[in-house]
Chain A
Amino acid sequence: MKDYEVIIGLEVHAELSTNTKIYCNCSTSFGADPNTHCCPICTGMPGTLPVLNEKVVEYAVKAGLATNCEISRFSKQDRKNYFYPDLPKAYQISQYDLPLCLGGHLDINVNGNKKTIGITRIHIEEDAGKLIHDAYTGDTLVDMNRCAVPLIEIVSEPDIRNADEAVAYMQTLKSILEYLEVCDCKMQEGSLRCDVNLSVRPVGQKEFGTRTETKNLNSFRAIHNLIEFETKRQIEVLENGGVIHQETIRWDDAKGIGYAMRSKEDAQDYRYFPEPDLAPIVLSDEYINDMKNSLPEMPHLKKERYIKEFGLPEYDAEILTASKYTANFFEKTNAICNNPKAVSNWIMGDFAKMLNEKELEINESKVTEENLACLISLIDKGTISSKIAKQIFEEMFETGENAKDIVEKKGLVQISDEGAIKEIVQRVVEANPQSVADYKAGKDRAIGFMVGQIMKETKGKANPQIVNKLLLEIINK
C-alpha cells in the first residue's frame, strides 16, 4: 500500500450571539416554540425588505481581526438562489465575491507541536429555518425561528492533515469566538458547526485528489471520527482501483458510519448576484481601528499575564486560558481568596476530573466561584484539612451547596482549640508509657504512632500542627 497524504479544509458556521436577527428585529434565542420568533421580514412575505443589523458586521469584523484577517473596506451582500421549504425567500442572503474578511490564519497546538492554519475568508450570511418531520402523520413542518439568525462562515485553507489537527483548529477557533463573545459556541445546539472537505493523495503527488464534503458536524468527536472514517474509506477505494466521486457524505454519528449521497445538489447553480435591496458595506479605517481596540485580551496574551502576574507555571497558564469560561472562573475565584496556585490546582485537578466525567463545561457546573474561593479560604485559615476539603468539594459539586454550610452541617471543622486537644494528648500519653519511653530512647517513630492515636480519637479533625506541638511539649516536660 502506498503512503497517502490527507488534505482537509473546514468550513465553520458560527451563529452570532446578537439579540436580534440579521435583517429584522426578531429574537435569536434558542428553544422557543416553533414559529414564534418570526415576522413578515424573516419569513420572506411579499414586499418586505431586509435591513442589516450593524452588530452582525461588528461581530464578524472582530472575528476577522482575531484571526489575523484583512478587513474589507468595501464588501457587499449577494443572493444565493435555491428552492427549499426552510428558505422562505428562495434565496439566502450571503456574500459571494467580496466577503468582509480575507486572508487570515490561526496558530494551533497539536500535542505540543505548533502549526499555522490559513483562513481563506470570513463572510456573513443568514441561517435557514428547520424542517421537522412528523413521524406520526408523515408531514413535514417548517419552523422559521432560525430563519435569518446571523451566521459567519469561516473558511480555512486546505492546510489540515489529520483528525487531531482538525479538532485542535476547531478548539482554538471556539476558544477565540468565546473570548470575543460573538458566538456562544454551543455545538450541541448547532450554534457552532462545521463542514469537512476531505481528499487524499499519494505522498509526492502534486494535484489534490477529488474531495468529498460532509456537512453540519456538531461535536469534536464527530469531526474526529468522520475524518478517520472518510480517510480510511477513500484510501481503500483508491487501493482497490476505484475512483472518488465529488459527493456529499452523510455522517451517522451514533453508528460511526458515513454514507455517500450521489445527489443532484452538486450540479446546483446558485445564480449568485448582488443583493439589490442592500447597500454595500463600506467600513472606514477609523471603524476598523475602533474594533481592534475593543478586542478583549486574547488567550495567548492572557497566558503570559498569568505567568507574570500570578506566578503560575506555563503549563497551568496554558490550560487555564484555553477557554474563556475557565479563565473567567479562575480570575473571579482568585479575586476572592487570593491564592492563585491553589485555585489553579483545584480547577485543573479534582474539578476538571469531575467535569470531564459529567461532560460539563466549567460554567455549567453547580460549583460557583464564591464557593470554591470559600473552600480554599477554609483550608488556608486552617478551618479544615485539605483531606477533608476533597470530601467537601465532592458534595459541593453534587449539590451546589456552600462549603461553609457543608462543614458546619457535618461537623467537619478542624479542632484547633489547644485546651481540647491538650486533654486528648494528655490521655494518649498516659495510656502509652512504652511509646514515650521509646521516643526518649531516640525512636522518633513512636511519635507517629501517638499522633495516629490522637487523630483517631478526634476523627481526623484535630489540627495536625497543634497536635505535634502539644505532644512534644508534654513528653519533654
Chain B
Amino acid sequence: MDLYSLALTDVAKKIKNKEVKIKDVLDDIYSRIDNVEPKVDAYITLTQKLAYERAQELQQKLDNGEDIGILGGVPIAIKDNICTNGVKTTCASRMLENFTPIYDATVIKKLEEAGAIVIGKTNMDEFAMGSSTETSYMKKTKNPWDLTRVPGGSSGGSAAAVSSDMAFAALGSDTGGSIRQPASYCSVVGLKPTYGLISRFGLIAFASSLDQIGPFTKTVEDAALMLNVIAGHDEKDTTSADIEKQDYTKALLNDVSGKTIGIPTDFITDGINKDVRAAYDEAIATLKNAGAAIKEIKLEYAKYSLATYYIIATAEASSNLGRYDGIRYGYRAKDFNDLEDLYRKSRTEGFGAEVKRRIMLGTYVLSSGYYDAYYKRAQQVRTLIVENFKKAFEECDVIMIPTAPNTSFKFGAHNASPLEMYLEDIYTVPVNMAGLPAVSVPGGFDSNGMPIGIQFIAKAFDEKNMLQVAYTFEQNTTYHKERPSIQEGK
C-alpha cells in the first residue's frame, strides 16, 4: 500500500510504532510529488534538504526512545504566506518572489515542536486575494479532480496538495473563505478556527481583523489533531485569545443526538447551483437520520456580508500592503528618477491586477470624506452580523450551509467579471465577519463529478461542537473516501 494515501493520524501511528521509517514516508511523499506535481502545480517551493535533515534528527530521537510529538515525522505543506525561517515566503507575488524571512511564524514553531516536517510551500492567490489561485504570479494550480478547472482559492495549493496526496495535511489562511472554499472544490476537510484561536504572528497580513490560519486534512479526525497542535495564546499576537487549551479529538463522537442544526432558509436562495442544493438537502437528511434536530433559523443580515467584507478587507489590505515599497526588501523597479518614481514603479510592476484593484478600493474607502460612508458604516453592519449569529445560536448548536454556491469552474471563467468571482465567497464571508469557526467537509459531487462541500459553523470558540457534528456527518457519508484519479507522470 502506498504510504502517501494514508490519513495523517494513520501515518503518525505507523511512524510511532516503527512500522515505517520517517525517511521512507518522506521518500514516498516526494516521489508522489515527482509524479503528480507536474500536473497539479500545487507547490511554489519544495524543501527536500531541510526535510530530510529533520527526518534524520527525528528518527534518531525516536530510535533513542524519545517522544517526537503527536505529529512526529509527518510531512506537512504550508501556504506561502506563512513565514518560514530561511525558506522563501513569496505570497505568490512578484513583490516577494525572493523574500526569505528571518523568523518562523508561531504556527511553524508549534508544528515543529509537535514533530511535523515541512515539505514545501504551496501556491495561492497573490497575497491571498482571490478565489481560484489564478492570481498567483508563480503558476496555475489545477484542481486534482479535473485539471482544466481551478482548485479554488486563495489557499488553492494547499487544498490541491492534500487532495492529490502530496501532503498529509497543509496549513492555509482564511480571510473570507480561503480555506473552506478550496477545500470544498477539492473534496478535503478545511477548517477555519475562531478569530483569535490561532496566532497570526508570521502570517503575512491581508486583512488583519479577518485573517485566520487553519488546516487542510483528509479527515475530520486529522483536522482535530492539527487544531490541537496549532491552537493557543501567543504573547506575540495580542489578538490571540488567552483561553484554556482544549483537546479537540475528544469531540470526535459519531453522535448528534440532542444537537440542533440551524438551517438559515432566508440565506440559501436561488443563486445556488442545483447540484449543490441537492447535496445540501441530502446533508440535512443525513444529520436528521443520525438523530439531530433540524431547525429553520434566520440570518437576515448575512446577505450584506459580502459588500461589507469588500470594504473592511480592502481597507485593511491597502494599509497592510503599504510596506511593499521597494525600499528595504522585495521587488524594486530597475529605473527610477526619484523616491516617488521608485514607489510608483516598484508597486506597479511588483503587484498583480487583483492586488492593485483591492489596494485602490481600500484606499478609496478610507480616504477623507468617504470614511464615514464606507468604512465606518461597514463596521456598523459587521456588528449587526455578529449580533445576528449570536441570536441564531440561541436556537441551535451548529449552523449548516453549503460552503460555496457552485463547484469548481474552468480557468479564466471569471476573468471578465471579478464581481462574479467575489460571489463564490457568499457563504464563507459571513463567518469571517463574525469571527466564528467553520469547517468544510466533503458532501458530494455535481453532475460533472466535481466536489461539493458542506459547511458547519459554530459559536466563537465552540470548535468542539462543530467538530462533533462534522465528524458525525463524515462518518455517515462516504464522500471523503473518494480520491481524484490523476494519471501519474509528466
Contacts and interface: CB of A to CB of B under 8 A. Distances in A.
Contacts of B235: 51
B239 A46 contact: no
A296 interface: no
A89 B321 CA distance: 8
B339 interface: yes
Main SS class of interface, A: loop
Contacts of A278: 238-239
Contact of A46 (B101, B237, B366): B101
B204 A142 contact: no
A464 interface: no
A43 B375 contact: no
Contact of A45 (B102, B238, B239, B366): B102
Contacts of B237: 49, 51
Interface stretch (A269-277, A298-306, A422-430): A269-277
A91 B83 contact: no
Contact of B205 (A40, A47, A269): A47
Interface string A49-86: 11110000000000000000000000000010101010
Contacts of A49: 200-201, 236-239
Interface in B308-343: 315-316, 318-319, 322-323, 325, 327-329, 339, 343
A51 B363 contact: no
B89 to A, nearest CB: 7
Interface residues of B, number: 43
B99 interface: yes
A273 B319 contact: yes
A277 B327 contact: no
A282 interface: no
B239 A277 contact: yes
B368 A269 contact: yes
**A49, A52, A278 pick with most chain B CB within 10 angstroms:** A49
Contact of A90 (B96, B105, B239, B322): B322
Nearest to B340: A83
A139 to B, nearest CB: 12
Contact of A47 (B202, B238, B322, B339): B202
A81 B319 contact: yes
A202 interface: no
A433 B474 CA distance: 130
A272 B366 CA distance: 7
A269 B375 CA distance: 15
B83 A47 contact: yes
A279 interface: yes
Interface string A141-180: 0100000000000000000000000000000000000000
Interface in A87-107: 88-91
Q: What class of interface size applies to chain A in its complex with B?
A: 20 to 34
Contact of B343 (A40, A79, A83, A142): A83
A432 to B, nearest CB: 89
A88 B324 CA distance: 9
A327 B52 CA distance: 67
A91 to B, nearest CB: 5
B125 to A, nearest CB: 16
B461 interface: no
Contacts of B102: 40, 45
Residue picked from A43, A50, A269, A279, most chain B C-beta under 10 Å: A269
A36 to B, nearest CB: 15
Given A47-B105, A88-B323, A273 B238 contact: no
A142 B105 CA distance: 26
Given A47-B83, A276-B316, A83 B238 contact: no
Interface in B180-205: 200-205
Contacts of B202: 47-48
Interface string A18-43: 00000000000000000000001001
Nearest to A80: B319
Given A47-B204, A47-B205, A278-B238, A89 B101 contact: no
A276 B313 CA distance: 11
B203 A90 contact: no
Contacts of B479: none
A424 B195 CA distance: 96
A46 B99 contact: yes
Contact of B366 (A47, A88, A142, A273): A273
Nearest to A44: B323
A49 B96 CA distance: 19
Contacts of A279: 238-239
A13 to B, nearest CB: 23
Contacts of A50: 238
B209 interface: yes
B475 interface: no
A90 B324 CA distance: 8
B203 A83 contact: no
A85 B327 contact: yes
Nearest to A84: B339
Contact of A273 (B81, B103, B315, B323): B315
Contact of B322 (A43, A83, A273, A276): A83
A47 B204 CA distance: 4
Contacts of A79: 319
Contacts of B203: 47
A294 B178 CA distance: 50
Nearest to B199: A49
Contacts of B329: 45
B422 interface: no
Q: Which residue among B81, B99, B103 has the maximum number of chain A CB atoms within 10 Å of its CB?
A: B103
Contact of B204 (A46, A81, A91): A46
A124 to B, nearest CB: 15
Contact of B319 (A43, A48, A91): A91
Contact of A51 (B204, B205, B238): B238
Contacts of B343: 83
A276 B367 contact: no
B103 A40 contact: yes
Given A46-B323, A89-B322, A278-B238, A271 B101 contact: no
B316 A90 contact: no
A272 B204 CA distance: 21
Contact of A271 (B103, B328, B368): B368
A89 B318 CA distance: 12
Nearest to B99: A46
Contact of A88 (B83, B103, B316, B328): B328
B409 interface: no
Nearest to A264: B340
Interface string B81-93: 1110000010100
Contacts of A43: 328
B249 interface: no
A63 B318 CA distance: 34
A143 to B, nearest CB: 12
A49 B316 CA distance: 14
Instruction: Sort A-B residue pairs by CB-CB distance and give the 4 closest, nearest first.
Output: A90-B322, A276-B208, A271-B366, A276-B209
6 contacts: A45-B103, A46-B83, A83-B325, A91-B319, A142-B328, A269-B367
Given A46-B204, A47-B201, 18 more contacts: A44-B323, A45-B101, A46-B83, A46-B96, A47-B89, A47-B105, A47-B202, A51-B237, A52-B238, A83-B322, A85-B327, A142-B328, A271-B318, A271-B319, A273-B316, A277-B208, A277-B239, A279-B239
